[in-house]
Amino acid sequence: MFAALNRNLLKSVMLADGVFCFAAGLALLAFSGPVGSLVGPLATPALVTGFAAFFLLWGVFHLAVGRQQRPSPAAVRLAAAGDALWVLGSLAVLLLARGGLTPAGIGIVAIAAVAVADVLLLKQIGLGRQQRARLA
């Protein structure tokens, strides 16, 4: 199993990210009120629902790219840029708006930022491998 994942790391990461984002979007839609309460007073149900819609679209995008035989480098770069913006935005929230977060909200934002940074790194590694394979 790991050999197959390693063989096409980029495709695997894009598909896994797509599934996770889509599932997170569905969960946020279903539980926008409780999630908002857990995160903090600024996380209104409308804001959480907005994030849910974003996650659903972002998930569909990743699934579409991940289903390609060789994921489009331009699409992967777009996904990586989105991940980088997410990490930077999360850091900004933690530094500038942590007063509007509960301790659980701070933890959720921080853990999500680390997870997205890890996925970003895997996308970069996979893209590098794909480009080297094309040159070989």
Q: How do residues 81-112 score in pLDDT, each as one tens digit?
A: 999 999 999 999 999 998 999 999 999 999 99
What Rg do the C-alpha atoms of the chain give, in angstroms? 16
What are the DSSP calls for 14-67, one per residue?
Answer: HHHHHHHHHHHHHHHHHTHHHHHHHH-TT--HHHHHHHHHHHHHHHHHHHHHHT
Number of folded domains that form the chain: 1
Using DSSP's 3-state secondary structure scheme, residue 72 falls into coil
CA distance 35 to 105: 9
| pLDDT value of residue 48 | 96
The 10s digit of each residue's pLDDT in 27-78 is 999 999 999 999 999 899 999 999 999 999 999 999 999 999 999 999 999 9
* pTM for the full predicted model: 0.90
- In this predicted structure, which of 2-6, 10-14, 97-101 has the lowest mean pLDDT? 2-6
5 band by pLDDT with thresholds 50, 70 and 90:
low
Token code pair at residue 49: 């629902």
Structure tokens of 40? 């903090």
The structure tokens listed for 133 are: 């394979």
pLDDT band at 131 (very low <50, low <70, confident <90, very high): confident
Q: Tokens 């970069």, residue?
A: 124
What is the rounded distance in angstroms from the CA atom of residue 70 to the CA atom of residue 57?
Answer: 21
Decide if 44 contacts 36 (C-beta within 8 A). Answer: yes
Domain range for 84: 2-135
CA 35, 37, 39, 42 torsion: positive or negative?
positive
What is the rounded CA–CA span in Å between residue 123 and residue 97? Answer: 29
pLDDT of residue 3: 54
